[in-house]
Amino acid sequence: MIDLLLYRAPLWLVALFLIGVSILAREAGSWFYRRVAAGRKDDEDHEAESHIVGAIFGLLAFTVGFTFSIALDRYDTRRGLVSEEATAIDTAYLRASLLDEPYRNTLQSTIRAYAHTRVSPRGVLDDKMEEQLKKNSVLRDQLWNDTRTAVLPIRQTDQGSSMVEAVNDALNVGIRRETAGRAHVPSRILDVMLLSLFITAAMLGYILRGRKGTPRHASSILLILFVVMLALIMDIDRPRDGSIRVPQRPLEELLARLDRDAERQRALAPPAATQLPLPAQGQ
């Protein structure tokens, strides 16, 4: 249930849900005070309770900061892998240009088609994305088979070794990028953080007792700010359908360059020879 809320539900709905539960937890703390300790006037106890709530808020802030650093580190990893994959594909494409025909054209065409499937589509996890991932898997096998065919005649040369290494690096980076795209902040950490938020809200309501006005409004704003930070962490931790997405510019620029090169090669290719009709022979 918690995983469905954190990773599948819309973020605005998650934020509203957490704000509502936090306010309910605060009201539950106030109700508990009125039920158990109503009529007791002890300034020393009130001061001790304030210190306890301050310590709990400090622990919650530390947990939120720690979780935010984990989510941001994963985001930086995904962003770095985009540039790394673009460089690896570009290297494989350039090394393929050193091969003889027909291997050069075949391998470069496969690399271009593979590169087109490496740009993450914008949007949610829908049927279109699933279809692209399946196509990517097929092209990965085709790319390796074309590389093996092209390198087989030169497998004992340095050129063959460098070609295999370049394609292998491109495929490995792609797999690492897909793995990083599926990685999330451990759900146990988010569970503990949410539990800390609700307990803190309840303790805050206990300290506020039944007071109205400015203290209560300030506590609501404080809880909303904590929920906003939690929503930001969840947004960063959603590499597929979150609003904070990894820039695809390195791959997009690579695709534009590969497509221009393909058009240039087609323009320079000699026209296909046309067979002229044979002259009719007289009887």
pLDDT tens digit sequence for 164-207:
999 999 999 988 988 887 778 888 888 888 888 888 888 888 88
Cβ 116 vs Cβ 257: under 8 Å: no
Segment 11-33 mean pLDDT:
87
Side-chain-side CA neighbours of residue 232 (13 Å): 13
What does the mean pLDDT of the chain come to? 81
Tracing tokens 């240039």 back to the chain, one arrives at 264
Segment 228-237 mean pLDDT:
87
Confidence band for 11, pLDDT divided at 50, 70 and 90:
confident
Percentage of the chain lying above the pLDDT 70 cut: 80
Say if residue 245's pLDDT is above 50: yes
Say if residue 211's pLDDT is above 70: no
Confidence band for 63, pLDDT divided at 50, 70 and 90:
confident
Percentage of the chain lying above the pLDDT 90 cut: 17
Segment 217-224 mean pLDDT:
86
| Predicted TM-score of the model (pTM) | 0.78
pLDDT of residue 276: 44
Highest average pLDDT, of 37-51, 122-136, 143-157, comes from 143-157
How far apart are alpha carbons 283 and 281 in whole angstroms? 7
Question: Of 242, 245, 219, 231, whose CA–CA distance to 64 is shortest?
Answer: 231
Other beta carbons within 10 angstroms of residue 137's beta carbon come to: 12
